Structure 1
Amino acid sequence: MRAVIVDCAIYRDGRRTEVPSDLAAALAEARSSGDAFLWIGLYEPTVREIERVSSQFALHPLAVEDALSAHQRPKLEVYDDSLFAVIKPVVYEHLSDTVSTDELMAFIGDSFVVTVRHGEGAPLAAVRRRLEAEPEVLRHGPTAVLYAISDAVVDHYMEVAGELQTDLEELETEVFAPTGGQDTKNTASRIYTFKRQIMEFRRAAGPLVAPMARLAGADVPFVHEHSQPFFRDVGDHLTRANEHVEGLDRLLSDILSAHLAQVGVRQNDDMRKISAWAAMAAVPTMVAGIYGMNFEHMPELGWVWAYPAVIASMGAVVLALYRQFKRRGWL
């Protein structure tokens, strides 16, 4: 069982203390103190492993089932003996310029916190170190853990949104450069791929607004009564991150529309050039076709200068068409 427990500690008056080897004994010790709580961190537990923990903490079976599945939407659910929260941290891969999401579940109850992590993006280790360095925050109990986790995840949302904006500005510069956007298929693919990254981000951050608003309100069980301003601050940061990414999404749609318009303009230019050259080629083709019909009674056949005159006439007409098309910008 210790293999799946990443960290386990009792925090008494904001200070970390030794934990008994038995979870039931550790929980009883935390509850008997009155000013302590037990925090257990699990990493991708199996069914048997999480059932052992759930039996000790009386976790609701529906919440346990959700904690085993790494495909949940951000949410907040209240059960009789615990509060269950799902948060999706966002991971930005710099090498591939892709956004991916992990999952983080937290059970908050009477004198205990159980966190379940799926993936490598959840900042639980950093959150625990930060809280252990701030005992005055840990004195607020399990609510402090939920707040610190939410705050860390949302702050990282802001960082990822800033990195996405930087990449989008680079893409915008390439699309609108004088020689940019020539590879139409590749450019459109990059824009579409970028839009998928924005969508992945919004799927993680958007649904989290409602749980944060609920935690910022009153009458949420197992949440400290004076924690509303802190969750309201997290909600404000989350709103800013969502508005930032929504603006990026709109800008990306505008870039795609502008790129398609550029493609249409280039296609029109190409068609005009093709039409102009086709028109110039049609004149000598038509004249040559007439004289290639082998009629007997054609007065020009007896003229000494007929052949050079016809050639000169064709050249003059083609030159006149060329100057006309050039003046109108078709060539």
Structure 2
Amino acid sequence: MRKLGCLGLLIVLAAFIGLFLLVQDWGGRGPAPRNMTFEVAEGASLSGTADRLEKTGAIPSAARFKLLAKIFGSNEPIKAGEYRIPAHLSPADILKMLQGGKTLQRFVTIPEGLPAVMVKDRLMAADGLVGTVEAPIEGTVLPDSYSFQRGDTRQSVLDRMQRAMLKYLARAWENRKPGIAVSTPREALILASIVEKETGKPNERRTVAAVYSNRLKRGMMLQADPTIIYPITKGRPLGRRILRSEVQAVNGYNTYAMTGLPAGPIANPGRASIDAVLDPAPSSALYFVADGTGGHAFADTLEQHNTNVQKWYAIRKARGER
């Protein structure tokens, strides 16, 4: 009787140890030595997926994974998509990830001021997207970071970028300040693209917007250098000084040879530049020139501006620039 009691105790103990080891195997560190990506096809079964997980080294045993998934896992199906499996992630957490659909998010980033031709370049270079895309109409893309999953089309991502711009521009236009220099959302977009290209300093945007707004209201030429470059390169860097013949060129964009706004945007402006045009700084400035710090010196009169220009020439001369 005593022997039977000891035997029963040993059986219980063995069962407890076995259960403990199973739990450890299920919830403990997985064998993957490094982060890996893993793709689950549409309609894939848990059984087939487990076999592939074992082959990639994410789990120690497909058979144990399937068994323990039935014992400890939920009845939720696994979801298709691309997953990032961290190093040593437990089999339990891998199953939760696949059932929860926490797929790997990829991103394509469009910086403020990027022209349409370079938006196309970024989309075409984005690994994981499929299909081709044409350069969008200039100014129709809202700069931001856009997530996507492997297999998404480039056109679908571009469509989201353009919907985002339409939505933001509409909302910003509704909140515009009275008395601004532009009379339509498109005019706001055109002017915002110039502001975007003229300054990279956030605290200057509204003042730069004020300068161009003041010029528009007075019927003065905007004389924005980036509008000279746009017809030549479609927004790509010029890589050299602007030629005198280019300053004098007559076209729909060169604001040194025309009054008013150019024919269209010269880049894709960001939210802050759009907001600046719709709420410019309370400034009477009509001119600005580089100040040597990455910013600009602003002036209300031509006399003040000429003084600032001479200071800028002196800075360039001290730097050994021509």
Using structure 2 for the length normalisation, give the TM-score.
0.24
Using structure 1 for the length normalisation, give the TM-score.
0.23
Structure with more of its chain in helix, by fraction: 1
Structure with more of its chain in strand, by fraction: 1
